[in-house]
Structure 1
Amino acid sequence: MTTTSTLADGVLYLTLTGDLIGSPDTQQLLDSVNDYLGDAVTNCAVDLSGIRYINSTGIGVLVSLLTKFRSRGGEMVLINPADHPRKMLALTKLSNIFTVAADQADARQQFTTAAS
């Protein structure tokens, strides 16, 4: 899995590609997010359109990230999950927990709505 991150308007945008299945990649992702949390970032948008496969460990990482941001009074939005991640979120009933946006603009709107 590869991860790219950008920070814009106080929102951390993560783009993930490959397979979200654990291994050292997920620990690097969590460490990277922790570094940004030190910069008082409270909102995160995770683009899952490039994730081919996700397992229970990957789902656990997403839940961990959601918990990190919500515990700081922020929110996390998933952007355009690919087919397999979308099915896994539905199967685990986590689609009721995560906010899903179509694109970055929609994600920004979700943060604005959540702040109101």
Structure 2
Amino acid sequence: MNYNFDLKEDVLVLSLEGDLIGEDSGADLMDKISGYVQEGVRLCVVDISELRYINSSGIGVLITILTKFRNKGGEVCLLKPSESVQKLLIITKLNAIFSVVDTEEEAFENLKSA
């Protein structure tokens, strides 16, 4: 899995690409996210449009990201899930926990009003 961070208007945009299966890069990813949260970043968009596959460990990574931000009074929004990832979010009922949107603009609007 590959990932990139971009800070736009005090919102962390995390782009995930490949397979989110909670492998070794998961710990490194969480360390970096913790750093942003400790610096005061409270809002996060997770762009999952390029995720091919996600397993239960990957779901755990998303939930951990959400927990880290919500524990500091923040919020997380998932951006553009593929059809297969969207189905998984529905089956696991995570679509009721996460805000899921189709555009970055919509994500920013949701987060700023949260």
Q: Same fold (TM over 0.5)?
A: yes
Matched, 1:36 2:48: no
What is the identity, as a one-letter code, of the residue corresponding to 1:28? D
**Aligned partners of 2:29 and 2:35: how far apart in 1?**
10
**Aligned partners of 1:20 and 1:77: how far apart in 2?**
17
Which contiguous aligned blocks of 4+ residues in structure 1 show a shift greater than 3 angstroms?
Answer: none
Cα deviation 1:14-68 (Å, max 9, x = unaligned): 0000000011111111111011112100010000000000000000110111111
Indicate the residue corresponding to 1:52 in structure 2. Answer: 52
TM-score w.r.t. structure 2 length? 0.96
TM-score w.r.t. structure 1 length? 0.94
Structure 2 stretches of 5 or more lacking a match?
Answer: none
Indicate the residue corresponding to 1:16 in structure 2. Answer: 16
Identity of aligned residues (%): 43
Indicate the residue corresponding to 2:107 in structure 1. Answer: 107
Instruction: Output the aligned Cα RMSD.
Output: 0.8
Give 1:112 shift: 2.0
Indicate the residue corresponding to 1:92 in structure 2. Answer: 92
What is the identity, as a one-letter code, of the residue corresponding to 1:63? I
